[in-house]
């Protein structure tokens, strides 16, 4: 069996295009599907997959390991980023083929399950309805009252955890001032932003009760000092985690040691070599790799 073609498909996800990779083989009906969805570079990733297909077509689809490391070597001058996201889409599609050929789910091929159930959280809870309510066909989130109504829906649907973002709401101070969101700023968390963050998390906590997990994702929005201020401000609300990103393990370690808030990190790292210094320094409480950007291999 040989790989005969690799194709990329875009699906409208409203707030980002879902990017899927289809690998076809010489065995009729045996295909694999992978995911390499990205926020802002779907077309460049698809172009990279097209380039990589020239190196992958004709190979044995069961050889996911050697394919991964050959592609990694071929992209050694631009490790990570678009190249690795493209590699990840190909890799997960190859694992899909392996599972189908061996008639076993991928989790069994990776050593079996560790648990019978996984906790599911509602991601981007509130933030997507604040920006894309009309496209989703749902009631918009414009005020903290809307967050209270959304919390009722969370409980009715049986979720035990949510993850949200810093949302511009009409009844919070400086809600129309979004300058702090641009990456070119100082990365600080001024008082207006801290008040807004606290109001959002407080509303969710009071509406959801003490047992529902609440996570806040701020990505790369703040630098070291800003994250520490934010984490300390939110300590009374017992966050499931504060998700923040940095490429500096020393900075993240200092953040973790400066607050009682649980720190989550890792979405924007690529490969074991980038995770290693963060793990060695115990720089975060929770590690969150993105499989769509790191693959399975």
Q: Which CATH class is domain 127-265?
A: alpha beta
Q: Which residue has the tokens 């879902």?
A: 18
Residue 40 has pLDDT above 90, yes or no: no
Q: How confident is the model at residue 180 (pLDDT cuts 50, 70, 90)?
A: very low
Backbone φ, ψ for residue 292 (5° rounding): -70, -15
Average the pLDDT over 108-127 and give the result.
94
Residue 159 has pLDDT above 50, yes or no: yes
Average the pLDDT over 242-250 and give the result.
96
Q: What was the pLDDT predicted at 17? A: 92
Residue 179 has pLDDT above 60, yes or no: no
Q: How confident is the model at residue 183 (pLDDT cuts 50, 70, 90)?
A: low
Give CATH 3.30.390.10 domain extents, the chain: 3-109
Q: What was the pLDDT predicted at 21? A: 98
Give CATH 3.20.20.120 domain extents, the chain: 127-265
Residue 106 has pLDDT above 50, yes or no: yes
Instruction: Compute the distance between CA of residue 179 and CA of residue 159 in angstroms, rounded to an integer.
Output: 33
- Phi/psi region, residue 115 (left: phi>0; alpha: psi -120 to 50; beta: rest), is beta
Q: What was the pLDDT predicted at 182? A: 53
pTM of this prediction? Answer: 0.92
Q: Are 182 and 220 in contact (CB under 8 A)?
A: no
CATH topology of domain 3-109: Enolase-like; domain 1 (3.30.390)
Residue 144 has pLDDT above 60, yes or no: yes
Q: What was the pLDDT predicted at 181? A: 52
Whole-number mean pLDDT of the chain?
93
Average the pLDDT over 200-224 and give the result.
96
Q: Which of 20, 39, 22, 18 is nearest to 30 (CA)?
A: 22
Question: What does each C-alpha distance from 179 to 130, 229, 233 come to in angstroms?
Answer: 18, 18, 21
């Amino acid at each position: 069996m040989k790989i005969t073609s690799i194709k990329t498909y875009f699906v409208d996800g409203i707030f980002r295009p879902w990017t899927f990779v289809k690998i076809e083989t010489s065995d009729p009906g045996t295909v694999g599907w992978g995911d390499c969805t990205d926020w802002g570079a779907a077309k460049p990733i698809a172009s990279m997959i097209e380039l990589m297909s020239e190196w992958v077509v004709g190979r044995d689809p069961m050889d996911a390991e050697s394919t991964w490391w050959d592609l990694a070597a071929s992209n050694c001058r631009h490790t990570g980023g678009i190249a690795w996201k493209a590699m990840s889409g190909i890799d997960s599609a190859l694992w899909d083929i392996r599972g189908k050929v061996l008639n076993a789910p991928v989790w069994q091929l990776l050593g079996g399950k560790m648990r019978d159930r996984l906790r599911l959280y509602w991601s981007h809870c509130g933030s997507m309805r604040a920006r894309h309510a009309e496209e989703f066909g749902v009631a918009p989130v414009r005020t903290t009252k809307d967050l209270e109504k959304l919390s009722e829906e969370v409980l009715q649907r049986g979720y035990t955890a949510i993850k949200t973002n810093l949302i511009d709401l009409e009844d919070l101070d400086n809600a129309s001032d979004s300058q702090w969101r641009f990456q070119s700023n100082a990365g600080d968390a001024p008082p207006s932003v801290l008040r807004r963050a606290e109001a959002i998390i407080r509303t969710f906590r009071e509406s959801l009760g003490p047992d529902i997990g609440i996570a806040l994702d701020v990505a790369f929005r703040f630098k070291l000092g800003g994250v520490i201020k934010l984490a300390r401000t939110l300590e009374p609300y017992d966050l499931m985690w504060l998700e923040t990103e940095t490429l500096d393990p020393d900075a993240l370690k200092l953040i973790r040691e400066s607050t009682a808030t649980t720190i989550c990190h890792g979405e924007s790292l690529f490969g074991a070599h980038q995770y290693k210094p963060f793990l060695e320094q115990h720089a975060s409480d929770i590690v969150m790799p993105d499989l769509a950007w790191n693959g399975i291999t």
